[in-house]
Structure 1
Amino acid sequence: MGLHRGVKLRHVRAFLDVIDQGSISAAARGQGISQPALSKTLAELEAMLEVELLSREGRSVGLTPAGRAFRRHALQALQQLDTAVVAAQGGTSSDMLNVGLLPTVSGGIFPRAALEFAKDHPGLRMSMLTGPHGFLLGQLRDGRIDLMVGRMPAPEDMPGLRFDFLYHEEIVLVGRAGHPLAGASGAQVLQQAELILPTQKSIIRSTVDRFLLSAGITEPKMRFETVSLAPGLGLVESSDLLWFISRGVVRREIESGTLEVIDLGAPFLAGSVGLTMKQSTADRFEIGGLAEALRHQIMLSGLELPRERQLEP
């Protein structure tokens, strides 16, 4: 059974927009139409295909197995259509997606998402660049990368960019397994421990500084600064130093027991992780495909997904 003759491009785009936006209401606002009109378009698509594509829970929507399969091939079809239009107009298209990765995602969820993306988009290649937040933000603005995956930029850095929220991630204080301060109170830990802090230009440093000030620590015993796994892990494993770092950077070391999280009783030590891109390129289907692969891997990992996509102007 082939494509139903009644299926139009508007049906496919409506379906993709709803998944990309995370809810029917958000997609309707983005298209400038009413929610009932968009719901009718989705219902028409499901009726013509004779399958349920979306699972609905209140205001949020998810993909059924049939919906996941349809989305994968629909993205590929629209990508090919875009390529055809560019070729017809005498232009050239890129088969490379350039991604900047902050340390919090480079060694955890992202590699699995990249493999899923490659399987679903066999005609595309991916170039991955790692580095600190400020460097990658500059690469994004200069057009050297297509998107950045990691912590949400500061508000003053957002003009002309869009941030698509994926999940919240804690900043943790970690030490070697069996650290002598494990089990001590948060106040005692902060007063006694020598610390490794995130670098001054890292996106999480201001959060850590504010937390320390709120705890009455105006001059922390700081010996080193890093957000990189190799030096941070080497320092912590060989000493009694404690390291403030995003959980994603050291997730595998925590799970293996190499590092131990020191409980400070500070659940607000967290931040948003997602995709940052230029407003002008945010609708590229390759970016949407990578976002879907990331959301799938986040779901498999047990991290909480947002109920509705969050955007920054």
Structure 2
Amino acid sequence: IVLDAERRGLIEPGGLIVEGTAGNTGIGLAMVASAFGMRTVIVIPETQSEEKKQALRLMGAELVEVPAVPYRNPNNYVRLSGRLAEQLARTEPNGALWANQFDNVANRQAHFDTTAPEIFRQTDGKVDGFICAVGSGGTLAGVGLWLKDMKPAAKIGLADPHGAALYSWYTEGELKSEGSSITEGIGQGRITANLEGAPVDFACRISDEEALRVVFDLAEHEGMVLGGSSGINIAGAMAMAREMGPGHTIVTILCDYGNRYASKLYNPKFLRSKNLPVPGWMARESTIAPPFEAV
């Protein structure tokens, strides 16, 4: 997104990147901005985890926290970030870029140019299915379009959390949401420009319980501490595997670190407040008595 904007003369070193994000894209933008001698202003829903907010601040981003309201509200964090970028562009001598991850198709193109070919190389071309959740839609559409060009028989799947509307769109042709989810940054209620034309063959809805079961199992048995989006993706890959049957290679993306959700996904008190299961290893208290000596 940033390289594309530089090539088009929309921003230069010393300029400002503005984005509305639930956190992880903002962290990436802040890292790139620092490397390119730019600054970042991140408009973020105030409900997002404190760990992500702290990471953004540590990377030099300036945060504008706003109430979490639906996209149809003009003060939704994404729509507000666009107006803020326009406002700041009038005074920034080196340009102010609205990254616009949801509808800037440079996002999708990056996955078409890099992520998908990497998947194809790493599987020696034997990838039979790809599935992931949707935030902006860039990963799903970019990877899906490239894989369909290279291997038309490959299946492209959507893993949708409860509270999102895309599962019903791809199965019934209607944008309709049911339930809610504690996951952050994924689950879309509209067809973004990045998502338009995504070749989705398979869609499944994943509950928080299913996603957390995967996340906690990987933490306990594999030492992989992941976030909720990764849990949705892996549970989705498992659903696709059951649908396709044995002997197929299915790829997904592990896209978030669990340490960004320590106060939520890995917090027994938070989980209980949402009526979600708490694994035994997480609730276990230490019984070790340190051998202090009298001094």
Sort the TM-score into its range (normalised by shorter chain): under 0.3
Q: Which has the higher helix share?
A: 1
Q: Which has the higher strand share?
A: 1
- Normalising by the residue count of structure 1, what TM-score does the alignment of the two structures yield? 0.25
- Normalising by the residue count of structure 2, what TM-score does the alignment of the two structures yield? 0.26
Q: Which one has a bigger Cα radius of gyration? A: 1
Which structure is richer in relative contact order (CA contacts within 8 A, separation 6 or more)?
1
